[in-house]
């Protein structure tokens, strides 16, 4: 293969005619009207036209309409090498050498050997029996042995050039290949046949309708070039929204449709009191470990708290209160003061509920939020140190676990999930606590889609709520359902600087489609 | 969430029934634990497997085969909760000396008499200590368990704290005696024990337990002595728990005792130990009394949303290891065993009732709560601006809130001290040292990772930065910003400038040609900022306030972020437009 050469265009260097594109177009169409098919390679060689020009013309005919069909083919063939082409023009070395010898008296050998390529020419002419050497005189004299010779090599090269001879196994061709006068080539060519709208008389037509044509009315009589509806259009310049935030919009919309009010979650820094203590999370809980939570060194602490409330929280943790035996440990204010990057948006829910409890008249609420939370995690394909938490809650008189299950069915139906099941779970601030599983038809298994529960009395009663008010709540991450929705395995392909902007551009409209309401 | 490994064959033997893995998975799901994984046991030649089960973090009573199988048997109504009793013979005494109060003030203990272990139960005994140490004991900081072969040591025992140089003994599985300070040095290189060394290392005295022959039982919370080492053949076990939290010490001791007393010659009988406190008072451990609560059936029904009568509720609760008697049609008397330290409140009892009833059998209802939904105005405005900027041809990015100091300071030719950032005290990587004070680094990094993309690259983000603000409760606040960048072979300042004009049109702030007063917006180029090309940046003034900056980035900044082409940027606070 190493002496093969990709060759589509220059195989035909002996182009003599340079027809204009339009005359060639006419020629090709009339050829096709009398022939079943046209082979571009053969046609180019027969008519001594550059192959690329033929192909270009074919393409332009094709762009006009459904006039011709083309089919690409590849062929291995042989062609004169660069040296071969020189011989094609000038004759073979041996032939030229022979012609250089005066027919009658011959020539002194050293003189003869001064001719170009005389060594090869001499050897070949000798083996062909064209010459004799008279060694009796000094220097030796070379004489013609025969009267006349034919330049077989040039002849062969001509036949190869004209594609008359394409069989690389013919003995003479093998000989020429050895002499590197002929080489293997790959030819890409087309077989052209007539198509439904074939005609020899095709006007090129106007490319575009112009303002001038409209003014003069000339469009009425002009022919217009057909559009190529197989090519793609030109993409309009456009921006786009981020794929994850498009999903956020859908979820946000779902909550709004369900009558939920959005909580102000624009406070990423929270203190441990509101992030943990108020949520009845004991001070030695693993979530409060430096391994799991980002603590701030500056500003390290919060010093102002609602002191009455703080006292109640202290009591419910350390000695128990409100019907709870508590955790029975020494609750430390210092621990509650520590600022953290909030580990959940439930810290905001807690602030909102506390505010609600301070109202003179209790009014039931439905709250939601979707915003960032932070964990001091080891990062991997599915975990980042920050992610979006989706949270919903309802506070009303006498809500039950059945109400929570009911509203979860409504919420997840909006996300297109109707097969749910609930597993008992543990969470410091909810009791009962339920993990939510949904059957994923694509993955053919149950997947965990969120967490939920009823806020503990130890969380609600210190705020000042009366005992008959309960709060049901649930949460999930935005990233996980989005990764499943888009089929993304690595979260860093979705969030952060490594996102592929092209992926963002190609990302379709996001529709989270609700399931039909079961009758 | 703790994960425990249990041999399937042993578990099914205890349960008196075989399950398929799928059936057992369903049982776990209903009970509130999770069959996380099934691992082969190579030695069993495919006969047996190990179930890896996730246990809720507050259920210390089901962290071993003994407890889990007991609870499941009761749940399946195949067994009853055992009655734990105390033996009444002369008690072993443990005396606490005053020095301990400086380091680890509490010790509790008890004895398991005439116990018979086999390889599996002994292994379970060791593993439970590990699990408790990791979870409830918070890596031995709060409580540390020491278990000893009582027949090798002589009571009474002394719990003291002494100077490290005064303590010398042969620790577990070691050949020679070491002084306590050397010992800690030694264990600070031990892959398993090194994490505990720091609990006491800096103290001038170390806690230590001696017997009456001056034999060291343990150096809590690090290591036991080799002398009292237990084995599968140990008949009498002395358990001590040293602690800084009495409640947790009691829970840990009770769990160890109630789980393994089933292997004693008198099952579930435990021998107490009396502890003489520093003030001379004597306390007897353990206290195995049930806690008794009366609860209303109506209240349970009301919380869960079910309608069960007292008898049914009692049956359900009994299945959850809570011995329950019906007092009257609305009152249940519940004896909460010491093993159920997770029951803090009525709501825990109500939940147990719901679990036994089956969460998935509860009739679902939709709350009747009627509310009108509202958006948070800042988010509404942000969304409107996001859409407008995308319509103007910019691609939205979503970058990290946390970043390194260099990302906001050095890379812009500034010092971190000059920036009002909030700092993280315990970052795991240099990438998360502070909260970002500007959205720009995230966008520049995004471009750096997308340099193959067709030019120009037009990116934006509408998100929060975090600024130190000592007037606020937590000493910091979020600020909602819009940041946009234009990256091309020329800086394209006019494009970014045009975007600003567009945004101002949209938020109905008109251009102020006078460049003064509190109306409209204009650019003030009388400012310095090392992040920008000299003379090619300005403050954005809107309605009299400085809301941000616009300009062409300094070539040093371009280089610092690994970029190659000019770049112009806009970053403004959008909160004034809400």
The per-residue pLDDT for range B322-340, each reduced to its tens digit, is 999 999 999 999 999 999 9
Structural domain includes residue B368: no
The per-residue pLDDT for range B77-125, each reduced to its tens digit, is 999 999 999 998 889 999 999 999 999 999 999 999 999 999 999 999 9
Residues of chain B contacting A241 with CB distance shorter than 8 Å: 386-387, 390, 396
More confident site: A24 or B215: B215
Contact: A432, B363; criterion CB under 8 Å: no
Contact: B347, A432; criterion CB under 8 Å: yes
DSSP A12-41: -TT------HHHHHHHHHHHHHHSSEEEHH
Mean pLDDT of A315-336: 96
By the CB < 8 Å criterion, does A100 face chain B?
Answer: no
Q: What residues make up the domain containing B297?
A: 291-360
Whether residue A316 has pLDDT greater than 60: yes
More confident site: B73 or A111: B73
| Residue A5 binned pLDDT confidence (cut-offs 50, 70, 90) | very low
pLDDT at A203 (0 to 100): 62
By the CB < 8 Å criterion, does B29 face chain A?
Answer: yes
Q: Which of A298, A421, A496 sits opposite B400 (nearest CB)?
A: A496
Choice among A113-122, B215-224, B247-256, B314-323 with the minimum mean pLDDT: A113-122
Structural domain includes residue B439: yes
Contact: A401, B362; criterion CB under 8 Å: yes
Tell me: do A414 and A494 sit in the same domain: yes
Tell me: do B118 and B29 sit in the same domain: no
Mean pLDDT of B424-445: 95
Mean pLDDT of A18-32: 77
Nearest residue on chain A to B463, alpha-carbon basis = A266
Whether omega for the bond prior to residue B438 falls within 30 degrees of 0, making it cis, is: no
Q: Specify the CATH number for the domain of residue B150.
A: 3.50.40.10
Domain total in chain A: 3
Tell me: do B214 and B330 sit in the same domain: no
A411 three-state secondary structure: helix
Q: Which of A263, A495, A497 sits opposite B445 (nearest CB)?
A: A497
Q: Are B6 and B50 in contact (CB under 8 A)?
A: yes
Last residue of one domain, picked from the residues B49, B76, B103: B76
pLDDT at A197 (0 to 100): 79
Structural domain includes residue A134: yes
Tell me: do A457 and A333 sit in the same domain: yes
Nearest residue on chain A to B446, alpha-carbon basis = A497
Give the mutation candidate from A234, A241, A369, A507 for the B interface (greatest B CB count, under 10 A): A241
Tell me: do B263 and B398 sit in the same domain: no
Alpha carbon separation from A295 to A290, A461, B477 (Å, rounded): 7, 28, 16
Closest Cα of chain B to A513: distance in Å? 21
Tell me: do B312 and B395 sit in the same domain: no
Whether residue A518 has pLDDT greater than 70: no
Q: What is the 8-class DSSP label of residue A279?
A: G
Tell me: do B36 and B105 sit in the same domain: no
Structural domain includes residue B9: yes
pLDDT at A10 (0 to 100): 39
By the CB < 8 Å criterion, does B384 face chain A?
Answer: no
With residue B224 as reference, give the H or E element that holds it: strand B223-224
Whether residue A116 has pLDDT greater than 60: yes
More confident site: A5 or A299: A299
Given 3-state DSSP classes, what are the helix, strand and coil percentages for chain B, each rounded to the nearest 5? 30, 30, 40
Task: Copy the structure tokens of residue B268.
Answer: 């579930």
Closest Cα of chain B to A56: distance in Å? 30
Whether residue B206 has pLDDT greater than 80: yes
| Residue A59 binned pLDDT confidence (cut-offs 50, 70, 90) | confident
By the CB < 8 Å criterion, does A472 face chain B?
Answer: yes
Residues of chain A contacting B467 with CB distance shorter than 8 Å: none
Nearest residue on chain A to B388, alpha-carbon basis = A239
Q: What residues make up the domain containing A14?
A: 5-82+157-210
Structural domain includes residue A403: yes
C-alpha to C-alpha distance for A313 and A274, rounded to whole angstroms: 11
Mean pLDDT of B418-441: 95
C-alpha to C-alpha distance for A118 and A487, rounded to whole angstroms: 73
Closest Cα of chain A to B460: distance in Å? 9
Last residue of one domain, picked from the residues A150, A169, A190: A150
Mean pLDDT of B479-487: 98
Tell me: do B108 and B20 sit in the same domain: no
Give the mutation candidate from A501, A504, A517 for the B interface (greatest B CB count, under 10 A): A501
Q: Are A339 and A299 in contact (CB under 8 A)?
A: yes
Contact: B348, A302; criterion CB under 8 Å: no
Give the mutation candidate from A276, A317, A400 for the B interface (greatest B CB count, under 10 A): A400
Nearest residue on chain B to A364, alpha-carbon basis = B369
Mean pLDDT of B463-469: 98
Mean pLDDT of B223-237: 96
Q: Specify the CATH number for the domain of residue A23.
A: 3.30.1370.240
Structural domain includes residue A352: yes
Tell me: do B280 and B314 sit in the same domain: no
Tell me: do A124 and A12 sit in the same domain: no
| Residue A19 binned pLDDT confidence (cut-offs 50, 70, 90) | low
Question: How many residues are there in chain A?
Answer: 519
Tell me: do A253 and A173 sit in the same domain: no
Contact: A269, B422; criterion CB under 8 Å: yes
Tell me: do A97 and A73 sit in the same domain: no
The per-residue pLDDT for range A277-312, each reduced to its tens digit, is 999 999 999 889 888 999 999 999 999 999 999 999
Tell me: do A180 and A317 sit in the same domain: no
Structural domain includes residue B371: no
Closest Cα of chain B to A339: distance in Å? 7
The per-residue pLDDT for range A398-442, each reduced to its tens digit, is 999 999 999 999 999 999 999 999 999 999 999 999 999 999 888
Tell me: do A428 and A353 sit in the same domain: yes
Mean pLDDT of B370-374: 94
Note which residues in 131-160 of chain B have CB less than 8 A from chain A. Answer: 135, 138, 142
Tell me: do A314 and A254 sit in the same domain: yes
- Rounded to the nearest integer, the mean pLDDT of chain B is 95
More confident site: A29 or B253: B253
The per-residue pLDDT for range B130-173, each reduced to its tens digit, is 999 999 999 999 999 999 999 999 999 999 999 999 999 999 99
Tell me: do B124 and B38 sit in the same domain: no
Structural domain includes residue B162: yes
pLDDT at A7 (0 to 100): 42
Mean pLDDT of B421-441: 95
Residues of chain B contacting A259 with CB distance shorter than 8 Å: 370-373
Tell me: do B310 and B413 sit in the same domain: no
A412 three-state secondary structure: helix
Q: Are A381 and A229 in contact (CB under 8 A)?
A: no
C-alpha to C-alpha distance for B220 and B218, rounded to whole angstroms: 6
Give the rounded percent of residues in chain B with a pLDDT score beyond 90.
97
Q: Specify the CATH number for the domain of residue B319.
A: 3.30.56.10
Give the rounded percent of residues in chain B with a pLDDT score beyond 70.
100
Q: Which of B138, B372, B466 sits opposite A284 (nearest CB)?
A: B138
Tell me: do A145 and A97 sit in the same domain: yes
Domain total in chain B: 4
Nearest Cα residue to B64 out of B137, B122, B146: B122
Residues of chain A contacting B31 with CB distance shorter than 8 Å: 424
Q: Which of B305, B351, B398 sits opposite A402 (nearest CB)?
A: B305
pLDDT at A441 (0 to 100): 84
Task: Copy the structure tokens of residue A325.
Answer: 């035996």
C-alpha to C-alpha distance for B401 and B386, rounded to whole angstroms: 18
Rg (Cα) of chain A, in Å, rounded? 44
Mean pLDDT of A448-454: 95
Contact: B367, A327; criterion CB under 8 Å: no
Structural domain includes residue B187: yes
| Residue A9 binned pLDDT confidence (cut-offs 50, 70, 90) | very low
pLDDT at A1 (0 to 100): 40
Closest Cα of chain A to B203: distance in Å? 21
The per-residue pLDDT for range B553-568, each reduced to its tens digit, is 999 999 999 999 999 9
Burial of A486 from C-beta contacts in 10 A (0-12 / 13-18 / 19+): middle
Mean pLDDT of B434-460: 96
Q: Which of A239, A266, A300 sits opposite B458 (nearest CB)?
A: A239
Structural domain includes residue B426: yes
Q: Which of A244, A322, A423 sits opposite B398 (nearest CB)?
A: A244
Mean pLDDT of A490-519: 89
Tell me: do B39 and B140 sit in the same domain: no
By the CB < 8 Å criterion, does B374 face chain A?
Answer: yes
Contact: A241, B387; criterion CB under 8 Å: yes
Structural domain includes residue B365: no
Tell me: do A48 and A102 sit in the same domain: no
Whether omega for the bond prior to residue A432 falls within 30 degrees of 0, making it cis, is: yes
Structural domain includes residue A264: yes
| Residue A21 binned pLDDT confidence (cut-offs 50, 70, 90) | low
Q: What is the 8-class DSSP label of residue B150?
A: G
Residues of chain B contacting A436 with CB distance shorter than 8 Å: none
Residues of chain B contacting A300 with CB distance shorter than 8 Å: 425
C-alpha to C-alpha distance for A38 and A32, rounded to whole angstroms: 7
Contact: A286, B369; criterion CB under 8 Å: no
A131 three-state secondary structure: strand
Contact: B398, A495; criterion CB under 8 Å: yes
ipTM, two decimals: 0.93
The per-residue pLDDT for range A84-93, each reduced to its tens digit, is 888 888 888 8
| Residue A16 binned pLDDT confidence (cut-offs 50, 70, 90) | very low
Last residue of one domain, picked from the residues B327, B360, B393: B360
Choice among A60-74, A455-469, B283-297 with the minimum mean pLDDT: A60-74
Q: Specify the CATH number for the domain of residue A371.
A: 3.30.930.10
Mean pLDDT of A346-352: 98
By the CB < 8 Å criterion, does A255 face chain B?
Answer: yes
- Say what the pTM is: 0.80
Structural domain includes residue A216: no
C-alpha to C-alpha distance for B304 and A406, rounded to whole angstroms: 12
Tell me: do A321 and A406 sit in the same domain: yes
By the CB < 8 Å criterion, does A205 face chain B?
Answer: no
Distance of CA A150 to the CA centre of its chain: 63
pLDDT at A44 (0 to 100): 86
pLDDT at A238 (0 to 100): 92
Contact: A472, B367; criterion CB under 8 Å: yes
Mean pLDDT of B343-363: 96
Q: Specify the CATH number for the domain of residue B385.
A: 3.30.930.10
Residues of chain B contacting A434 with CB distance shorter than 8 Å: 359
Q: Which of A238, A422, A470 sits opposite B360 (nearest CB)?
A: A422
Q: Which of B428, B470, B480 sits opposite A376 (nearest CB)?
A: B428
By the CB < 8 Å criterion, does A496 face chain B?
Answer: yes
Residues of chain A contacting B302 with CB distance shorter than 8 Å: 398, 400
Nearest Cα residue to A325 out of B54, B341, B243: B341
Residues of chain A contacting B435 with CB distance shorter than 8 Å: 268-269, 341
CB pairs under 8 A between A and B: 288
Nearest residue on chain B to A323, alpha-carbon basis = B345
With residue A239 as reference, give the H or E element that holds it: none
Whether residue B466 has pLDDT greater than 90: yes
Question: How many residues are there in chain B?
Answer: 578
The per-residue pLDDT for range A132-142, each reduced to its tens digit, is 888 887 888 88
Contact: B393, A237; criterion CB under 8 Å: yes
Tell me: do B402 and B278 sit in the same domain: no
Contact: B306, A326; criterion CB under 8 Å: no
Tell me: do A428 and A326 sit in the same domain: yes
Whether residue A66 has pLDDT greater than 90: no
pLDDT at A13 (0 to 100): 39
Structural domain includes residue A456: yes
- Rounded to the nearest integer, the mean pLDDT of chain A is 88
């Amino acid at each position: 293969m190493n002496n093969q050469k990709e060759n589509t265009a220059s195989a035909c260097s002996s182009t003599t005619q340079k027809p204009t594109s339009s005359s060639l177009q006419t020629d090709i169409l009339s050829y096709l009207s009398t022939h079943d098919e046209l082979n571009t390679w053969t046609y180019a060689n027969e008519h001594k036209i550059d192959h690329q020009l033929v192909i270009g013309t074919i393409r332009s005919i094709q762009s006009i309409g459904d006039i011709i069909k083309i089919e690409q083919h590849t062929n291995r063939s042989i062609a004169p090498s660069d040296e071969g082409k020189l011989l094609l023009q000038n004759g073979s070395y041996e032939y030229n050498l022979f012609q250089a010898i005066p027919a009658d008296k011959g020539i002194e050998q050293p003189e003869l050997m001064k001719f170009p390529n005389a060594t090869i020419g001499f050897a070949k002419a000798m083996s062909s029996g064209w010459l004799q050497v008279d060694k009796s005189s000094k220097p030796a004299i070379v004489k013609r042995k025969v009267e006349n010779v034919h330049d077989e090599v040039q002849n062969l090269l001509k036949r190869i050039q004209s594609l008359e001879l394409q069989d690389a196994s013919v003995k003479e061709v093998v000989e020429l290949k050895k002499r590197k006068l002929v080489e293997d080539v790959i030819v890409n060519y087309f077989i052209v046949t007539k198509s439904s709208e074939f005609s020899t008389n095709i006007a090129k037509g106007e490319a575009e309708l112009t303002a001038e044509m409209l003014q003069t009315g000339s469009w009425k009589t002009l022919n217009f070039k057909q559009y190529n509806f197989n090519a793609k259009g030109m993409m309009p310049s456009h921006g786009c929204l981020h794929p994850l935030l498009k999903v956020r919009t859908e979820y946000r919309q779902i909550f709004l449709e369900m009558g939920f009010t959005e909580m102000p979650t624009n406070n990423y820094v929270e203190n441990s009191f509101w992030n943990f203590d108020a949520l009845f999370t004991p001070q030695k809980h693993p979530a409060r470990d430096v391994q799991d939570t980002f603590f701030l060194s500056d500003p390290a602490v919060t010093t102002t708290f609602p002191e009455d409330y703080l006292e109640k929280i202290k009591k419910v943790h350390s000695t128990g209160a409100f019907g709870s035996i508590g955790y029975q440990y020494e609750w430390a204010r210092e621990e509650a003061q520590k600022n953290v990057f909030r580990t959940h948006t439930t810290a905001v829910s807690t602030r909102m509920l506390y505010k609600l409890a301070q109202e003179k008249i209790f009014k039931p609420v439905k709250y939601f939020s979707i915003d960032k939370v932070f964990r001091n995690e080891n990062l991997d394909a599915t975990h980042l140190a920050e992610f979006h938490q989706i949270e919903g809650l309802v506070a009303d008189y006498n809500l039950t676990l059945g109400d929570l299950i009911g509203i979860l069915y409504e919420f997840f139906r909006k996300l297109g999930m109707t097969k749910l099941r609930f597993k008992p779970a543990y969470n410091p601030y909810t009791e009962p606590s339920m993990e939510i599983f949904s059957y994923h038809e694509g993955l053919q298994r149950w997947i965990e889609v969120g967490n939920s529960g009823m806020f503990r009395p130890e969380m609600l009663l210190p705020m000042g709520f009366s005992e008959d008010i309960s709060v049901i709540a649930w949460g999930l991450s935005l990233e996980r359902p989005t990764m499943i929705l888009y089929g993304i395995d690595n979260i860093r392909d979705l969030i952060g600087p490594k996102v592929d902007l092209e992926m963002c551009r190609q990302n379709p409209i996001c529709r989270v489609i609700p399931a039909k309401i079961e009758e | 969430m703790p994960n425990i490994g249990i041999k399937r064959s042993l578990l099914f033997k205890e349960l008196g029934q075989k399950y398929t893995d799928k059936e057992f998975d369903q049982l776990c799901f209903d009970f509130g634990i999770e069959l996380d994984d099934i691992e082969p046991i190579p030695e069993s030649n495919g006969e047996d497997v190990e179930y890896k089960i996730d246990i809720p973090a507050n259920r210390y009573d089901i962290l071993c085969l003994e407890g889990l199988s007991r609870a499941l048997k009761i749940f399946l109504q195949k067994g009853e909760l055992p009655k734990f009793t105390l033996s009444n013979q002369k008690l072993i005494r443990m005396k606490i000396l005053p020095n301990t109060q400086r380091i680890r003030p509490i010790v509790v203990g008890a004895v398991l008499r005439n116990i018979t272990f086999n390889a599996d139960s002994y292994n379970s005994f060791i593993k439970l200590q590990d699990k408790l140490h990791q979870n409830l004991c918070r890596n031995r900081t709060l409580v540390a368990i020491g278990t000893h072969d009582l027949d090798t040591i002589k009571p009474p025992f002394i719990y003291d704290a002494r100077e490290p140089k005064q303590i010398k003994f042969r620790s577990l599985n070691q050949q020679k005696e070491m002084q306590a300070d050397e010992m800690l040095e030694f264990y600070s290189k031990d892959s398993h024990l090194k994490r505990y060394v720091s609990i006491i290392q800096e103290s001038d005295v170390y806690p230590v337990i001696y017997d009456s022959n001056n034999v060291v039982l343990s150096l809590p919370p690090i290591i036991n002595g080799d002398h009292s080492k237990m084995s599968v053949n140990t008949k009498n076990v002395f358990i001590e728990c040293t602690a800084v939290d009495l409640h947790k010490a009691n829970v840990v001791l009770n769990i160890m005792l109630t789980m393994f007393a089933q292997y004693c010659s008198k099952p579930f009988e435990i021998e107490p130990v009396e502890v003489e406190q520093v003030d001379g008072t004597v306390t007897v451990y353990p206290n195995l009394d049930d806690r008794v609560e009366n609860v209303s059936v109506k209240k349970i029904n009301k919380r869960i949303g079910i309608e069960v009568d007292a008898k049914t509720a009692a049956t359900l609760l009994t299945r959850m290891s809570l011995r329950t008697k019906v007092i009257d049609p609305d009152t249940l008397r519940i004896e909460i065993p010491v093993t159920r330290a997770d029951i803090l409140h009525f709501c825990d009892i109500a939940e147990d009732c719901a679990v036994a009833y089956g969460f998935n059998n509860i009739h679902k209802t939709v709350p009747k709560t009627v509310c009108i939904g509202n958006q948070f105005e800042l988010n509404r405005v942000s969304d409107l601006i996001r859409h407008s900027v995308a319509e103007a041809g910019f691609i939205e990015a979503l970058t990290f809130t946390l970043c390194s100091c260099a990302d906001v300071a050095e890379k812009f030719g500034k010092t971190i001290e000059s920036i009002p950032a909030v700092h993280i005290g315990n970052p795991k990587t240099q990438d998360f040292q502070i909260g970002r004070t500007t959205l720009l680094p995230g966008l520049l990094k995004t471009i750096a990772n997308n340099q193959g993309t067709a030019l120009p690259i037009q990116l934006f983000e509408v998100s929060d930065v975090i600024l130190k603000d000592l007037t606020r409760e937590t000493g910091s606040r979020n600020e909602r910003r819009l940041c946009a960048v234009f990256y091309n072979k020329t800086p394209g300042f006019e494009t970014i400038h045009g975007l600003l004009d567009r945004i101002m049109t949209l938020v109905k702030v008109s251009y102020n040609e006078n460049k003064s007063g509190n109306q409209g917006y204009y650019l003030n180029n009388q400012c310095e900022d090392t992040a920008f090309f000299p003379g090619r940046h300005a403050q954005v003034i809107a309605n009299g306030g400085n809301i941000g900056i616009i300009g062409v980035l300094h070539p040093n900044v371009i280089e610092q972020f690994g970029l190659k082409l000019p770049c112009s940027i806009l970053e403004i606070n959008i909160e004034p437009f809400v």
